[in-house]
């Protein structure tokens, strides 16, 4: 059973998402919070698997709340297109994915399941905006981190493709291997680099200069 905490300052959003998710046989809503501070407190007390986190909330915003929640629950950021300047910072803070607030109900349910399973949820549009964010930054001559030396050439190829926004099936097609093989590679990459999920792998690839936008 996937335990979900909903953090949003709009009561109707909390109630609507709560009713939708609570109706699923494999999901239980364990609590809701109207601000970031309450979300952090409830995340500690209720130990949810997934926190649905709005960005703009009183007392403490969703970014700071995500930072403070740390390595426990997976955080799924609820966003609107005009908030995409937060995408990079949310990933840095430890978010595992993004969901547009006006997404269809089926997308919300799927997103919770995907993130709970340890996959990152980065819609192609979000990944493109993330890449664009890095493209606007001045390119520094970053030293290649020694952590990358732990990766095999094939794992390095997979990491580059993850950072380009490719799905597992697309990576499998590019490298002419089975999709299960790609999943195995990704698991080893995350373990070797001490990264929590695919979202952190994307940030790592750009921050270390392994992948350059463009």
Residues 93-104: tens digit of each pLDDT? 778 877 777 878
pLDDT at 137 over 80: no
Nearest Cα neighbor of 79 from 103, 110, 49 is: 103
Higher pLDDT, 120 or 69: 69
- Does residue 180 share a domain with residue 110? no
For residues 99 and 39, membership in a common domain is answered with: yes
* Mean pLDDT for the stretch of residues 189-193: 90
pLDDT digits (tens, 9 = 90+) for 155-188: 999 999 988 878 788 889 999 999 899 989 998 9
- Taking residues 110-139, what's their average pLDDT? 66
Q: How many CB atoms lie within 10 A of CB 163?
A: 23
- Give me 42's structure tokens: 């409830």
CB hemisphere CA count around 201 (13 angstroms): 30
Predicted local confidence at residue 61, as pLDDT: 86
Stretch among 34-43, 53-62, 81-90, 153-162 having the lowest mean pLDDT: 81-90
Residues 117 and 151 in one domain: no
For residue 127, which phi and psi values (nearest 5 degrees)? -60, -40
Q: Which domain holds residue 95?
A: 2-121
Model-level pTM?
0.69
pLDDT of residue 83: 52
Rounded Cα gap, residues 54 and 16, in angstroms: 14
Residue 128 maps to a domain: no
Q: Provide long-range contacts, Cβ within 8 A and 24+ apart, for 149-153.
A: 150/192, 150/193, 151/189, 151/192, 151/193
Instruction: Judge if 54 and 115 occupy the same domain.
Output: yes
Whether the pLDDT of residue 134 is over 80: the answer is: no
End-to-end CA distance of the chain: 42
Contacts of 46 (CB under 8 A, 6+ apart): 3, 5, 30, 31
Does some domain include residue 212? no
Same domain as 146, residue 107? no
| DSSP tag of 140 | P
Query: Range with the lowest mean pLDDT among 84-98, 99-113, 156-170, 188-202?
Result: 84-98
Mean pLDDT of the 63-89 span: 76
Is residue 73 scored above 60 in pLDDT?
Answer: yes
So what's the pLDDT on residue 197? Answer: 75
In terms of Cα–Cα distance, which of 82, 85, 79 is closest to 111?
79
Domain shared by 103 and 57, yes or no: yes
Say whether both 101 and 175 belong to one domain: no
Higher per-residue pLDDT: 129 or 33: 33
* Distances in whole angstroms, Cα of residue 155 to Cα of each of 23, 60, 205: 40, 38, 12
> What's the count of helices (H) and strands (E) in the chain, helices before strands?
10, 5
| pLDDT recorded at residue 125 | 57
Q: Does residue 102 share a domain with residue 28?
A: yes
Whichever domain contains 150, its CATH number is 1.10.10.10
CATH at residue 64: 3.40.50.2300
Task: Look up residue 160 and give its DSSP letter.
Answer: H
Residues facing residue 78 across a β-bridge: 54, 99
Q: What percent of the chain has pLDDT over 70?
A: 82
- Are residues 17 and 43 in contact, defined by beta-carbon separation less than 8 angstroms? no
- Domain-located, residue 97: yes
Q: With cut-offs at 50, 70 and 90, classify the pLDDT of residue 126.
A: low
The residue-averaged pLDDT of 66-91 equals 75
Predicted pLDDT at 122 = 61
Q: Do 161 and 197 share a structural domain? A: yes
């Amino acid at each position: 059973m996937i335990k979900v905490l909903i953090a949003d300052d709009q009561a109707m959003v909390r109630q609507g998402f709560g009713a939708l998710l609570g109706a699923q046989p494999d999901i239980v809503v364990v609590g809701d919070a109207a601000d970031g501070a309450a979300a952090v407190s409830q995340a500690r007390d209720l130990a949810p698997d997934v926190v649905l986190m709005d960005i703009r909330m009183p007392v403490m915003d969703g970014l700071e709340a995500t930072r403070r929640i740390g390595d426990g629950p997976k955080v799924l950021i609820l966003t609107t297109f005009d908030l995409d300047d937060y995408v990079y910072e949310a990933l840095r803070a430890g978010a595992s994915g993004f969901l547009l607030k006006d997404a269809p109900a089926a997308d919300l349910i799927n997103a919770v399941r995907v993130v709970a399973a340890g996959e990152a949820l980065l819609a192609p549009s979000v990944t493109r905006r993330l890449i664009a964010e890095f493209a606007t930054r001045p390119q520094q001559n970053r030293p290649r981190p020694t952590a990358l030396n732990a990766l095999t050439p094939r794992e390095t190829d997979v990491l580059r493709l993850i950072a380009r926004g490719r799905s597992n099936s697309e990576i499998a097609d590019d490298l002419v291997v089975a999709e299960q093989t790609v999943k195995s590679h990704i698991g080893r990459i995350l373990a070797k680099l001490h990264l929590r999920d695919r979202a952190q792998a994307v940030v790592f690839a750009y921050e270390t200069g392994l992948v350059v936008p463009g």
